[in-house]
Chain A
Amino acid sequence: MIDKIFFNFTRFSALLILIIVAWIFTVLFNHSLEAMSTFGLDFITKDEWAPNLDKFGAHAAILGSIISTMLAMMLAVPIAIGVAIFLSEIAHDKIKGFFGVSVELLAAIPSVIYGMWGLFFFVPIIRDIFGGLGIGLLAAGIVLAIMILPFMAAVTRDAMNTTPDILKESAYALGGTQWDVIKDIIIPYAKAGIIGSLILALGRAIGETMAVTFVMGNVHKVPGSILDPTTSIPVTLANEFSEADSSLYFSSLFGLALTLLIMSFVVIAVAKFYFLRKARRA
């Protein structure tokens, strides 16, 4: 009797995850219907975002999300791979332990703090070097890159560490240098895992809100250069959700949230189910 109750409790809690996810999609979809029926495809192709005229085109926000994430990836990927190689192959055991734990702890620092640091210390540097406001795509890309770096380096290192020692030792026995072993043994062996880890970090970067909200500017305009202030989906949501006053405005914001959820869901699912699963099977 108690056995049955306990079983049902646990099963209900487990099913609740599926229910919540389905519920999130349904709620966001229902609330964005009004915007979708009013604007149709214009919602994602037009960039006029004028709450006072009840016109909402999310093109700039979607583009801003994609460009800032790509910029962050371009900056973070080479460094993260370098750090991962350093941690898995070069560093001494003692340094490895200390460095490895600090990287993981840094991944836990709240993103609002990265954003605050970016606003007070990094934006002025960009302003001094390139002129302009300092706030904009470039600042957002760099802060985002620094923020995802620890996570990216940690998961990439884990992927590299799956290479069996015997493979590496065989290559060394054939006279390979350390770099030969890294590029001809470890990277080919752990390829799926490394790509999966990088894409997973990409999935996190798309939805990251606080690190970029400080430094992006929230201007609904397709930027002419990477120094221009612009916006992204999470930045728009963070700045405007509590200020929206018409139902169409709300509906458009829910439409943005749905777009963001779908984008990150797809990216994360590709990383987890295609690459990382392949890596585990290998």
Chain B
Amino acid sequence: MTAVQKRVLINKIALAFSTLSALIALGFLFWILGVLVMKGISALNWNIFIFEGAPPGNPESGLKHALVGQAILIGMATAIGVPLGILAGTYLSEYGKNSKLAHTIRDISDIMMSAPSIVIGAFVYAIVVMPMGHFSAWAGAIALGIIMIPVILRTTDDMLQLVPGELREAAFALGAPKYKVILSVVYRGAKAGILTGVLLGIARVGGETAPLLFTSFNDNFFTTDLNEAMPSLTVTIFNYATSPYEDWQQLGWAAAFILSMFILGLNILGRLILLAGKKRK
């Protein structure tokens, strides 16, 4: 075999291995998605949206409690995380810029984005659950809100920096004060980007289970009392899936399916908004 043939052969082998690993990865991931869709759809029915949790064996059991609880928790977390994240991102992009403080905040926030979410749960347990003496929706929402801030901060910072400086200068030249320039020129220019950031932030915390385990805890019954333990889809999935009861496991798959579709939907929507924004320009 000549040296050239050898190199061509090695090339073929290496590329085949790379393609094979892509197929392996894809195989596993489609296996998981396939299971999720098959199990999820076969467990879906209207009862899920009508009934709340019930003891195992009861045909009149559903996920209403978890769906509503999840919506409440995410709504509250969004109310905490989005304004703080957007304001902080605004500071970094419009005021802090390249100062040392701004860079430190960016770095710390970036690390926070990958930090273990269960640790945030332990922190919130110490500052909210312990003083209150019991689990509560507030604690869960605060934990999710804290996790959300770095995601929103990062996208807001990035997106505001994409707004051209000339736009700001033009507004300043008309005599507008800085806050007005930011609110009505910079925010408007970065609208699509900020919205995408918010959607991705919601998608990020929507799938979090660990920080809720000992903050909002769980409940098998419908509740809207923010001072009490609050059921969530994710913790319900965990509890039902690890239970020995077949019908609870079925409900767990249905919950897993609904949750995944919600989160994938938010991700796709976020991408589409960003894409549409780019096309218009």
Contact = CB atoms under 8 A, between A and B. Distances in A.
A119 B241 contact: yes
B91 A10 contact: yes
B267 A105 contact: yes
A113 B36 contact: yes
A39 interface: no
Nearest to B32: A117
B17 A146 contact: no
A180 interface: yes
B8 A177 contact: yes
B118 A18 contact: no
B54 interface: no
A83 interface: yes
B38 to A, nearest CB: 11
9 contacts: A3-B177, A10-B87, A14-B91, A14-B102, A18-B104, A114-B32, A116-B252, A206-B116, A261-B115
B214 interface: yes
A31 B238 contact: no
Given A21-B108, A242-B217, A272-B107, A16 B88 contact: yes
B170 interface: no
B50 interface: no
A111 B207 contact: yes
Interface string A9-42: 1111111111011011001100100000000000
Interface of A: 2-3, 5-7, 9-18, 20-21, 23-24, 27-28, 31, 78-83, 85-87, 89-91, 99, 101-106, 108-117, 119-121, 146, 149-150, 153, 177-180, 182-183, 200, 203-204, 206-210, 213-214, 234, 237-238, 241-242, 253-254, 257, 260-261, 264-265, 268-269, 272-273
Given A11-B95, A13-B84, A214-B242, A18 B20 contact: no
Interface string B118-147: 111111011100000001000000000010
Contacts of B123: 23-24, 27-28, 257
A209 B84 contact: no
Given A113-B32, A253-B122, A264 B210 contact: no
Contact of B35 (A5, A13, A27, A121): A121
A83 B122 contact: no
Interface stretch (B22-30, B189-197, B219-227): B22-30
Contacts of B29: 102-103, 106, 146, 149-150
A2 B179 contact: yes
Nearest to A266: B111
Given A112-B207, A206-B116, A207-B115, A254 B122 contact: yes
A34 to B, nearest CB: 13
A257 B126 CA distance: 12
B184 interface: no
A116 B22 CA distance: 23
